[in-house]
């Protein structure tokens, strides 16, 4: 079993930056995929980014590519989402998720979820 706890959300003006953190515990993370999803107001939860823990390979949604960066810290262990050049359409509850051995955007492949952290981008 894996426990995931997100932090770092808040309110920021368009063009600004935030860094989200996801602290993971409960098992070893070799071979595990960790990802970020978000749920905008009134919309379905959507994929943002994912990382293969052991290798560091990444996958990004087109809407955030070149603006967001996912990374990991083996020592803690923690996964981060650095969000730059934020837009109002980035406003959502952001969730950390843990899955299997493949880097994927498919929500159904992730078994463990954090509680979510609110990100609001004003114009």
Span 59-108, pLDDT tens digits: 999 999 999 999 999 888 899 999 999 999 999 999 999 987 789 999 99
The predicted pLDDT at position 13 comes to: 98
Say what the pLDDT of residue 27 is.
Answer: 72
Mean pLDDT across 30-47: 93
pLDDT digits (tens, 9 = 90+) for 21-32: 999 888 767 778
Is residue 115's pLDDT more than 80?
A: yes
Strand spans (E) along the chain: 3-7, 10-13, 18-25, 33-39, 46-52, 58-60, 68-73, 78-83, 92-99, 110-113, 117-122
């Amino acid at each position: 079993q894996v426990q995931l706890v997100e932090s770092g959300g808040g309110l920021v003006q368009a063009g600004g930056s935030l860094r989200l953190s996801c602290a993971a515990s409960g098992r070893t993370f070799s071979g595990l995929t960790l990802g970020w999803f978000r749920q905008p107001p009134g919309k379905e939860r959507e994929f943002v980014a994912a990382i293969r823990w052991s290798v560091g390979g990444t996958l990004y949604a087109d809407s955030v590519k070149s603006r967001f960066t996912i990374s990991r810290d083996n020592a803690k262990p923690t996964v981060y989402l650095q969000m730059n050049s934020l837009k109002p359409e980035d406003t959502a509850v952001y969730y950390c998720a843990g899955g299997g051995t493949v880097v994927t955007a498919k929500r159904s492949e992730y078994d463990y979820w954090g509680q979510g952290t609110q990100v609001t981008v004003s114009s």
